[in-house]
Structure 1
Amino acid sequence: MKTLYRLALGLLLLPAVHAADPLSIAEIHGDGVEPRFVDEQVTTEGIVTLVLPRQFWIQTPSESPSSTRDGLEVFTGDPAAVNVGDRVRVTGFVNRFRRPDREKDLMVTRLIQPEIEVLARGQALPAAIPLGQAGWQVPDNLADENPSVDPTASAIDFWTHYSGMRMVVGEHRVIQATNRFGDTWVLPATEHPRLNELGVLAASPDDLDLERILITANPRLQPEDAPPALPGSHFTRIDGVANYAFGQFRVTTRHALEPVEVAIEIRDTRLHRGPEHLTVASYNVENLDPLIESIERVNGERDIDDDIGSGRMARLGEHIAILLAGPDIVALQEIQDNNGAEQGDVLSADRTLTALIEAVRAAGGPDYAFIDLPPPAPDAFGGQPGGNIRNAFLYNPARVELLPPGPRQIDDPAFAGSRAPLLAGFEFNGHRLMLINNHFSSKWGSSPQFGEQPQIIGGEAERPAQADALRRLLDAENAWGGEAHWIVLGDLNDHWFSEALSHLKAEDSVQPLINLIETLPEADRWTYLFSGNAQAIDHLLVTPELAERAEFEILHPNARFPDQAADHEPLLGRFHLPPAAER
């Protein structure tokens, strides 16, 4: 009768049966994305492989790398009394979790409200999966529609299947500097066609580079003063546990990370202005302003900075004066108003631009004049609330003359809520040049690449429409048939191979624009680093006749370093324009 009672009780209270009879970790996961026993209580056993302040991970013992789904997170909320190498029995509820503020992230399977019993200590850890050219490979397909989890079918399935399991990364190269959270992107290889001499991996139209791996330093073990890893370097070892957080699969290490020191050179430009050569730069200076914001007038502490006291303004001045050799014209993006992110009616950026000009002069650069046309109303151009970012120009009046009727903003519905392009004309050696300074809609609002599919790309519709608006303006201004040369430049927030740039270039038309960034080898086309990919999102395009007179380069003082004067790299073009009478 007793046995029958237990059986009946088990049928009525199914979680009690799972709690009494240990399941393997693989049985809890099942074959699909959704585990088999969501919100039910289960018991399982495993070896503790990684312990963090609010959770730990367990894995089924194995003497060789396992292809079974053998890893699982146990969420405790507080530090657990377990150590790496403990064999534990855990009873808890199967939970699917993602942060409420990250609705496009993937969901993570974990055990919550755990009851933990340590069965033995000092046990051998399960064998680690080797990642890299000599080990296991991440598929080159991002996602598939099959509801089952097949680690050979897609990168998302690969990481989902092996999440919670030990991994070691063999030969590798750091491809983006360690950030303030202790995250470092690496490429599990030492050679790659687009791994350039600066140590970064340039983005491609044909490859998502899904082999990139995010390495997260163990916060319990990493010294606070640990040096950051820099592109081109590598770690002495990477041994950790795969997991998912903040939209990224990652390997969190079981040890402190030790990067091998590498020297990084910052090269000054080789393109100097001269009697017959005009130089033009583009530089996104990242929310530049001249004061320390007051906490009472901003949205939060993150909106307070000190661009002068921190030395950032001075460094940007040095970049313009020395690195770029004092270009004749500098197209700037993300110039904020005079009180930065403070809320209010201040729109002018004359103090911001004057402070930058003073920094350039202090570094030995030209005595620039500036062009600033404020937004029509507070926050009309988007960006950081209160900052009123806009496009602006610096120009050297000793070298170029501002043409009448003067600068103007391009008023087109395609730029509603974004930065209006700034059009200005200049004369050099009798040549007329018309410049359109741009900052296209950002990718803000994009969902993570390793998130719910299909991925959402912020501004994906807006940027091609903005490119079309510029084409309409160029047509109206007879840019290909008039006397002036035309330059379209700035932060276009999209790849050189994107739809927006394709619209703007119109390569197959009789009126193309030439993107000078495409004169560089593919591996050298980059102005920004994001998630371990070096992306070209700043551009300098010219009409064909000017392209024949052009030289071009990208300078790299920022993106490879954790401490940046700005998050974009500056561009520089030089144009051979002898006096018009001598043409």
Structure 2
Amino acid sequence: MPSTSSTRLAALTVAAVCSAASTIVLTSPAHAAAVRIHDIQGTTRISPYAGKAVTDVAGVVTGVRTYGSSRGFWMQDPSPDADPATSEGVFVFTGSTPKVAVGDAVTVSGTVSEYVPGGTSSGNQSLTEITRPTVTVVSGGNAVPAPVVVDADSVPDAYAPAGDPAANGSVNGLTLRPRTYALDYYESLEGMNVQVADARVVGATDAYAELWVTVKPHEHPTRRGGTLYGSYAWQNTGRLQIQSLGPAAGFPVANVGDTLAGTTTGPLDYNQYGGYTLVAGKLGTLESGGLQRESTRRQHHGELAVATYNVENLDPSDGTFAAHASAIVNNLKSPDIVSLEEIQDNSGATDDGTVDASRTVTELIDAIVAAGGPRYDWRSIDPVDDQDGGEPGGNIRQVFLFNPERVSFTDRPGGDATTAVGVTEEHGRAALTVSPGRIDPASDAWKSSRKPLVGEFVFRGRTVFVIANHFASKGGDQGLTSQYQPPTRSSETQRHLQAAEVNTFVKSILDVQKNADIVALGDFNDFEFSGTAQILEGDGELWSAIKSLPRSERYTYDYQGNSQVLDQILVSPAIRRGCDLDYDSVHINAEFHDQISDHDPQVLRFHP
């Protein structure tokens, strides 16, 4: 609540020590007295006063953050200049709980700093702050500057300018063009009071009391209310993260397709986990869009149903076995073969040398039976301890579940963590040298990453080769709101090598048997339009079946409000040529706040 001016007449000093965050310090003008906020913000992303002291900067407090490691307040100049490129708001970093209230008129003296969330190595843009502040409250109960309305008309359709080649592709030094580029527009509002109205939710509420909305409801919409990331040029300019200055317990619990009705208002911040973020002092009212979890159809008698499902670090200590079992039985309709990704060993994240996962898998199989499903059999290969990446100690791996009443597994002994599977010829047809086996586990392509699991199955007398994959993650890639435009996707280098390994192995099968039925599936950690997918598909050796769906249904994951593909099922020409191929991305997790995994499973049905 605003304080009365009688209690705020005396000068109030707030001392703070600058956080250990990365800063940018540039050569800048000499010390300036009584500069305005728009002078500090300037017309580029880096303040012309970075690293310098400023005195008696005036503003009205628009928001106060009393929690976390970045405590402080936002203030805004109620008398803006005429330049749309210069923000009138700024964050004052106090380090401890600020002793100001919304509506206080204050003057601040301190040092201008450019704080880079996540550190300079992240490639993120910086946030202009005043640090080590001395704060004087002049009066209280003042009107807060009216919020800038952020909507479909105000946000440009073009996402970002190309970075300056002389600055390694950084946009930091470029003059902001807020009427041309979305990122420039948001930057021109950094620290200012902004507002969105009747915004559709495109990223469900997460564990950190955050959600994503779009102010452009017609921008690449999915069939179920999300926003599709369908190419590297579809950054989706209308997306905005929403946080709250209030308690997390009161934050809306939203699914994709819900609406924050009415107005949501607060300062525009920038953070490492989502870029530009409206930190709401006032939240709209949540209206449900009624989104329901999907169920696919059951396979016909002569159809083979093959599924992939990332169960997100499943181990015996988890309480999600019944939920995963219900998903497999009721939503996926008990596929004949299920490739599971992220099955952890029996001790979970405890790094005690355990690699066996039999308890984890058995508990899931028992839960499936309890849910009314078949008693699956299973095959896998234990990895070498701590060599396959993922959560330390967890030893995640892929596992095949299969229904022995519908399909049989061809066991060929000799497969282990370090033995490479090969292809041989038996009676004129392709066969594996070991089954289950792993593709070239000694290759540098799989360093600190999961090795593909290969198995030979038989369905109604027809051999089907299945390759279960979990490629290297996107960790280390620059975000869409990076200062470097276009952002660098450094992680894809390893995935390209991995895709080449899988494609080469598929070729070795097709060289022996041109009409072999091959399914390569799993969490490829890359898009259906990516270079990784192109290498996997090669010269037609494989084809990603998700491309058989309408574009608005092509997604398996939701990241920062972008519905996108990470999980895929690719098939060989013999399967693709069949007129009965039926693919389904079954949306049960990614769009929901109460997800049991962050991935949606997929099912492919066909007649081998």
* Global fold match (TM > 0.5): yes
CA spacing shift, 1:223–1:66, aligned 2, 3 Å: farther
* CA shift digits 1:433-470 (9 cap, x unpaired): 11111111111222332234253424211111111111
Counterpart in 2 of 1:394? 401
Structure 1 residue 16, shift from structure 2 partner: 11
**SS at structure 2 position matched to 1:392:** strand
Please say if 1:347 is aligned against 2:355: yes
- Kept in 2: contact 1:175–1:532 (CA 8 A): yes
Please say if 1:558 is aligned against 2:589: yes
Which residue type is aligned with residue 418 of structure 1? S
Which residue type is aligned with residue 416 of structure 1? K
Counterpart in 2 of 1:35? 47
* Whole-angstrom distance in 2 between the partners of 1:352 and 1:571: 22
- Kept in 2: contact 1:140–1:211 (CA 8 A): no
**SS at structure 2 position matched to 1:321:** helix
Please say if 1:126 is aligned against 2:145: yes
Structure 1 residue 63, shift from structure 2 partner: 8.4
TM alignment of 1:45-124, pairs within 5 A:
45-53=58-66, 54-62=71-79, 67=84, 68-98=86-116, 103-104=121-122, 105-124=124-143
* CA shift digits 1:233-275 (9 cap, x unpaired): 11132111111122511111122443113322112112x2332
Please say if 1:336 is aligned against 2:353: no
Please say if 1:229 is aligned against 2:237: no
Counterpart in 2 of 1:295? none
CA spacing shift, 1:339–1:119, aligned 2, 3 Å: same
- Kept in 2: contact 1:336–1:388 (CA 8 A): yes
* CA shift digits 1:86-137 (9 cap, x unpaired): 2211111222223575642322221122222222322222232211124343
CA spacing shift, 1:444–1:63, aligned 2, 3 Å: closer
Counterpart in 1 of 2:299? 273
* Whole-angstrom distance in 1 between the partners of 2:50 and 2:229: 39
* Whole-angstrom distance in 1 between the partners of 2:512 and 2:230: 30
* Whole-angstrom distance in 2 between the partners of 1:233 and 1:570: 22
* Whole-angstrom distance in 2 between the partners of 1:110 and 1:63: 18
CA spacing shift, 1:160–1:226, aligned 2, 3 Å: closer
* Whole-angstrom distance in 1 between the partners of 2:325 and 2:196: 41
Structure 1: runs of 5 or more not aligned: 1-13, 292-306, 578-583
Structure 1 residue 172, shift from structure 2 partner: 2.3
Structure 1 residue 199, shift from structure 2 partner: 1.4
Counterpart in 2 of 1:11? none
- Kept in 2: contact 1:26–1:70 (CA 8 A): yes
Given candidates 476, 479, 492, the residue that maps to 1:448 is 479
TM alignment of 1:110-509, pairs within 5 A:
110-137=129-156, 139-141=158-160, 143-145=162-164, 147-152=173-178, 154-192=181-219, 194-205=220-231, 206-218=233-245, 221-222=246-247, 224-236=249-261, 237-247=263-273, 248-270=275-297, 272-291=298-317, 307=318, 310=319, 312-375=320-383, 377-405=384-412, 406-412=435-441, 413=443, 414-453=445-484, 455-478=487-510, 481-482=513-514, 484-506=516-538, 509=539
Structure 1 residue 155, shift from structure 2 partner: 3.6
Which residue type is aligned with residue 233 of structure 1? D
CA spacing shift, 1:340–1:461, aligned 2, 3 Å: same
Which residue type is aligned with residue 561 of structure 1? F
CA spacing shift, 1:15–1:144, aligned 2, 3 Å: closer
* Whole-angstrom distance in 2 between the partners of 1:476 and 1:16: 68
**RMSD in angstroms over aligned alpha carbons?**
2.3
Counterpart in 1 of 2:8? none
* Whole-angstrom distance in 1 between the partners of 2:355 and 2:381: 9
* Whole-angstrom distance in 1 between the partners of 2:65 and 2:82: 23
Q: TM-score, normalised by structure 2?
A: 0.84
Counterpart in 1 of 2:20? none
**SS at structure 2 position matched to 1:255:** coil
* Whole-angstrom distance in 1 between the partners of 2:506 and 2:531: 18
- Kept in 1: contact 2:203–2:591 (CA 8 A): yes
Which residue type is aligned with residue 532 of structure 2? A
**SS at structure 2 position matched to 1:235:** strand
Q: Which moved more, 1:73-82 or 1:324-333?
A: 73-82
Which residue type is aligned with residue 210 of structure 1? T
Q: Which moved more, 1:422-431 or 1:439-448?
A: 439-448
CA spacing shift, 1:212–1:339, aligned 2, 3 Å: same
Which residue type is aligned with residue 427 of structure 1? V
Structure 2: runs of 5 or more not aligned: 1-27, 165-170, 413-434
* Whole-angstrom distance in 1 between the partners of 2:210 and 2:266: 13
- Kept in 2: contact 1:370–1:395 (CA 8 A): yes
What fraction of aligned residue pairs are identical, expressed as a percent?
32
Structure 1 residue 428, shift from structure 2 partner: 1.0
Please say if 1:23 is aligned against 2:28: no
Which residue type is aligned with residue 190 of structure 2? S
* Whole-angstrom distance in 2 between the partners of 1:436 and 1:15: 61
- Kept in 2: contact 1:434–1:485 (CA 8 A): yes
CA spacing shift, 1:358–1:158, aligned 2, 3 Å: same
Structure 1 residue 519, shift from structure 2 partner: 0.3
* Whole-angstrom distance in 2 between the partners of 1:240 and 1:315: 38
